C-alpha cells in the first residue's frame, strides 16, 4: 500500500561552518530563502537554527530567529520546528530561548548527554573565513552536549505540556530510545511520538544499515510500533542512502545542510532544495508520495499554525 513520506529539511544547523560551503545559509534572508525553497521542493517540516548574520557563528538569539520566522511563515505553510539543541557549547537557557518565545508546532528534544565531536571536520581545511570556526570545532573535544533527565523533563513540561509543542525526539544511540520509553511509560510523553534516529554523529551510533535496523527494532519493542513515527537523519555522505532505507522501512526522512553539505556522488549541494529534490525523486521512484504540511500536522497531531507566536 502506498503512503506519503514526511520530508524534514534542516537548513543550516550548528555543525558545519561558512568556510566549508558557500551555500550554507547564514543571514536571516538567506535562511528564509533556503527554507521557503525547501518547502516548495517538498519539505513539510523546516528544522531551524539561527546564526550570527555577521560571521555565521551559531546563535540562539531570539532576534536572529525573528529575522526569518515571519518571512518563512508568510511564504509557506510548512511546519516550523525550532531547535532546542542549539549548539553543544551553549547553555540550556540560551538554547531554549527561541522555542520559548515562538512556541512552535514542533521543536527538537535531544534524548541524552553525549560527546558531540565535530573536531575531525577541521582536518579538511587550511584557511578559515572566521577565527571562531576552528576554535569551535576544537572545543568539542572537551565539551559535553548536556541533556540530563532534569533538562529533558523541563523541556517536556515547559514547551510540551504548557506550550503545546510536539517534539522531534533526537535519538543518537540506543540508550536515548530507552530514555524516551521511560518518559512514555511515565505518561510525560504521549503518542504519536516523532522519533528522529540520528546516525553518524561522532559520539553517537555509527551510520550503517545494521544500526538503523537495530534502532528501529528497539523502538518497536520499547515504544510499540503503533505509538510512533520515525524519521532518519544520517550525517555527511550517509544522508541519502540511510534516508532511502528509512523510506523502505516505513519511515520518514530528514535532509538539509545541517546534516550534510553534499549530494551524491559527493559534490557540494548548491542549496537545501537540491537535497530535498534528490530525496523526493528517490521517494517517488520507489512508489511513495510526499506528505503535504497539513498531512504531516495530522500524522503528528500538531497544535496548528494559528497557535504559533511568529511576530513579536
Q: Which residues bind ligand KMH (CB under 6 A)?
A: 10, 13, 15, 83-85, 108, 110, 170, 198, 201, 258
Report, in Å, the least distance between residue 81 CB and Zn ion.
9
Least distance CB 114 / ligand KMH (angstroms): 10
Interface positions with Zn ion (CB under 5 A): 13, 83
For residue 55, give the DSSP letter: T
CB 205 within 8 A of CB 171: no
272 binds, among ligand KMH, Zn ion, none (CB under 5 to 8 A by kind): none
Cβ at position 259, least distance to ligand KMH in Å: 6
Residue 25 binding target from Zn ion, ligand KMH, none, CB below 5 to 8 Å by type: none
> Is 97 or 222 the residue whose CB approaches Zn ion more closely?
97
Q: What is the C-alpha separation between 310 and 312, in angstroms, rounded?
A: 6
| Cβ proximity to Zn ion, 28 vs 222, nearer residue | 28
98 binds, among ligand KMH, Zn ion, none (CB under 5 to 8 A by kind): none
Closest to 80 in 3D by CA, of 56, 51, 103, 52: 103
Spatial distance between the Cα atoms of 87 and 116, rounded to a whole number of angstroms: 10
Task: Name the residue nearer to ligand KMH (CB basis): 95 or 278.
Answer: 95
Cβ 84 to ligand KMH, closest distance in Å? 6
Residue 15 binding result from ligand KMH, Zn ion, none, given CB thresholds of 5 to 8 Å by partner type: ligand KMH
* Distance in angstroms (rounded) separating the CA atoms of residues 83 and 75: 21
* Shortest Å distance, C-beta 79 to Zn ion: 15
Residue 84, CA distances (Å) to 98, 103, 152, 155 in order: 8, 11, 10, 9
Widest pairwise Cα distance in the chain = 52
Asked if residue 196 lies in contact with residue 220, where contact means CB atoms within 8 angstroms, the answer is: no
Contact present, 245 and 201 (Cβ < 8 Å): no
* Cβ closest to Zn ion, residue 140 vs residue 222: 140
Q: Which is nearer to ligand KMH, 15 or 223 (CB)?
A: 15
Identify what 163 binds: ligand KMH, Zn ion, none; CB under 5 to 8 Å per kind: none
Closer Cβ to ligand KMH, 95 or 280, answer by number: 95
Quick one: cell of 36? 521557503
Report the 10 Å Cβ neighbour count for 288. 16
CB of residue 83 to ligand KMH, shortest distance in Å: 3
Taking residue 287's Cβ as centre, other Cβ atoms within 10 Å add up to 9
Pairing of strands 4-5, 267-268: unpaired
Amino acid at each position: 500500500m502506498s503512503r506519503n513520506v514526511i520530508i524534514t529539511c534542516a537548513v543550516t544547523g550548528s555543525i558545519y561552518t561558512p568556510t566549508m560551503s558557500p551555500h550554507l545559509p547564514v543571514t536571516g534572508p538567506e535562511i528564509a530563502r533556503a527554507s521557503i525553497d525547501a518547502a516548495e521542493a517538498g519539505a513539510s517540516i523546516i528544522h531551524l537554527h539561527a546564526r550570527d548574520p555577521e560571521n555565521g557563528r551559531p546563535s540562539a538569539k531570539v532576534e536572529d530567529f525573528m529575522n526569518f520566522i515571519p518571512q518563512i511563515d508568510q511564504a509557506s505553510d510548512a511546519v516550523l520546528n525550532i531547535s532546542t539543541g542549539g549548539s553543544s557549547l551553549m547553555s540550556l537557557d540560551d538554547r531554549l530561548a527561541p522555542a520559548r518565545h515562538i512556541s512552535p508546532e514542533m521543536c527538537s528534544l535531544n534524548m541524552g548527554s553525549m560527546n558531540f565531536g565535530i573536531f575531525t571536520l577541521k582536518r579538511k581545511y587550511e584557511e578559515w573565513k572566521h577565527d571562531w570556526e576552528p576554535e569551535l570545532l576544537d572545543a568539542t573535544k572537551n565539551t559535553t552536549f548536556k541533556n540530563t533527565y532534569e533538562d529533558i523533563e523541563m523541556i517536556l513540561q515547559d514547551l510540551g505540556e504548557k506550550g503545546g509543542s510536539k517534539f522531534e525526539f533526537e535519538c543518537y544511540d540506543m540508550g536515548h530510545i530507552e530514555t524516551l520509553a521511560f518518559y512514555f511509560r511515565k505518561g510525560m510523553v504521549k503518542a504519536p511520538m516523532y522519533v528522529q534516529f540520528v546516525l553518524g554523529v561522532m559520539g553517537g551510533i555509527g551510520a550503517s544499515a545494521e544500526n538503523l535496523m537495530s534502532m528501529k527494532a528497539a523502538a518497536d519493542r520499547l515504544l510499540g510500533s503503533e505509538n510512533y513515527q520515525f524519521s532518519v537523519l544520517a550525517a555527511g555522505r550517509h544522508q541519502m542512502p540511510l534516508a532511502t532505507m528509512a523510506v523502505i522501512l516505513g519511515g520518514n526522512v530528514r535532509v538539509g545542510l545541517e546534516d550534510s553539505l553534499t549530494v551524491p556522488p559527493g559534490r557540494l549541494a548548491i542549496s537545501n532544495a537540491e537535497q530535498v529534490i534528490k530525496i523526493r525523486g528517490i521517494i517517488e521512484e520507489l512508489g511513495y508520495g510526499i506528505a503535504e504540511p497539513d498531512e504531516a500536522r495530522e500524522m503528528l497531531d500538531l497544535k496548528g499554525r494559528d497557535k504559533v507566536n511568529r511576530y513579536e
